[in-house]
Amino acid sequence: MRIVVTGGSGDLGGRVVRQIEARGHEAVPASRRTGVDLATGVGLDAVLAGADAVIHSASSQTRPQDVDVAGARRIGESLRRLGSGAHVVSISIVGSDRVPYPYYRAKVDSERALEDAALPATVLRATQFHSLAAFLATAGRVGPLAFSVGDMRIQPVDIDWVAQRLTDYATGPAPSGYRRARDIAGPAAYSAVQLAAILAAHDGRRPPRVVRIPPLLPVLRGFAEGGILPGPDAETGGRSFKDWLDDQPTPMPRRFHSPT
Ligand SMILES: NC(=O)c1ccc[n+]([C@@H]2O[C@H](COP(=O)([O-])OP(=O)(O)OC[C@H]3O[C@@H](n4cnc5c(N)ncnc54)[C@H](OP(=O)(O)O)[C@@H]3O)[C@@H](O)[C@H]2O)c1
């Protein structure tokens, strides 16, 4: 199969490209560095011509309406122009419709753009990647203290497993129209205290004292009240946070994306 991967140079997209190739298919990374700009549509028709499937993992934290949302709409329009029946598989975030955070709103808008396109499409929502959980825990540490938004818990997931599941959907049978796949999450949920303790053990330090910040703003309340936790029907799997951390550098750097 020929599978186009938007954001194929990114943290998730790069792993998707490697998954596709490992399974003997052709992966075509599509992003600005390969001449495809989802914010304008430049290069899109050319890269999508002849595609059997598209995995949409391009994203912009600063321009999500242009890249995630308009990008999804442009992919649909381009496939229609080309008369292509390619299956579009897109990544979204668990609970994006429950927390009023602008980036999350864009993820929901991006899902809707695919639903409106009325093409074979699968949206897979995942929880936060382990690297984001580690980043939140390390960035929220000040000297001997760390902070928790209320009693917020997080159930992070292994990015490599997310890449595998996206590839499973893209190489598997396509639906006749739009569908939401089962949400996916890692095997365990953690409080801020537990994350801080696991990271401290990894780094060989004393765990910080965790101070609870009252979730006064609606967005913080959304996080604190379990808005991003998976429901009981979610599929769970991949490496646990602790097993993933064992493969990371010591001390764990403060980075948004996975160092390895
Ligand atoms: N991080 C998490 O915890 C998490 C959890 C669940 C779901 N997700 C979702 O996973 C996806 C991938 O996240 P990530 O952290 O792997 O992203 P990332 O590493 O920041 O990669 C973003 C990709 O988007 C491309 N891109 C940006 N602007 C573009 C444009 N105008 N046109 C075309 N491509 C563009 C970038 O390539 P160029 O710079 O070459 O354009 C890059 O390849 C996102 O949709 C995110 O919402 C993330």
Residue 251 lies in a domain: no
What pLDDT does residue 260 have? 76
> Residue of the nearest CA to atom 41 in ligand 1?
32
Per-residue pLDDT 10s for the chain (260 aa) are 999 999 999 999 999 999 999 999 999 999 999 999 999 999 999 999 999 999 999 999 999 999 999 999 999 999 999 999 999 999 999 999 999 999 999 999 999 999 999 999 999 999 999 999 999 988 888 989 999 999 999 999 999 999 999 999 999 999 999 999 999 999 999 999 999 999 999 999 999 999 999 999 999 999 999 999 999 999 999 999 999 999 999 999 888 888 77
> Residue of the nearest CA to atom 47 in ligand 1?
92
H-helix segments, the chain: 11-22, 44-48, 64, 70-82, 102-117, 130-139, 159-171, 192-203, 218-224, 241-246
Among 12, 18, 136, name the best residue to mutate to test ligand 1's pocket (greatest count of ligand atoms within 8 A of Cβ).
12
Residue 257 lies in a domain: no
* Residue 193 alpha carbon to ligand 1 centre in Å: 29
* Residue 145 alpha carbon to ligand 1 centre in Å: 31
Paired sense of beta strands 190-191 and 26-30, if any: unpaired
Residue 258 lies in a domain: no
Kindly report the CA angle at 128 between 124 and 134, in degrees rounded to 5?
155
What pLDDT does residue 239 have? 97
Domain total in the chain: 1
Which domain does 163 fall in, by range? 2-246
* Atom of ligand 1 at shortest range from CA of 12: 16
What pLDDT does residue 165 have? 98
Kindly report the CA angle at 260 between 203 and 256, in degrees rounded to 5?
75
Residue 252 lies in a domain: no
Residue 78 lies in a domain: yes
Taken as a whole, the chain contains a residue count of: 260
Which residue type is seen at 78? S
Ligand 1-lining residues (CB < 6 angstroms): 6-7, 9-13, 31-33, 36-39, 57-60, 67-68, 91, 93, 107, 126, 128-129, 132, 257
Q: What does DSSP assign to residue 157? A: B
* Atom of ligand 1 at shortest range from CA of 39: 31
| CATH code, domain with 223 | 3.40.50.720
Q: What is the DSSP string of 88-152?
A: EEEEEETTTTTS--HHHHHHHHHHHHHHHHTSSEEEEEE--BHHHHHHHHHHTEETTEEEEETT-
Residue 100 lies in a domain: yes
> Residue of the nearest CA to atom 11 in ligand 1?
57
* Atom of ligand 1 at shortest range from CA of 32: 41
Among 4, 5, 11, 31, name the best residue to mutate to test ligand 1's pocket (greatest count of ligand atoms within 8 A of Cβ).
31
d(CA 228, CA 136): 14
* Atom of ligand 1 at shortest range from CA of 94: 6
Output the CA–CA distances (angstroms, integers) from residue 33 to 10, 71, 259, in the order listed.
11, 16, 21
Residue 259 lies in a domain: no
Of 162, 153, 157, 154, whose CA–CA distance to 243 is shortest? 157
What pLDDT does residue 140 have? 82
Q: Determine contact, residues 27/51, Cβ cutoff 8 Å.
A: no
Residue 99 lies in a domain: yes
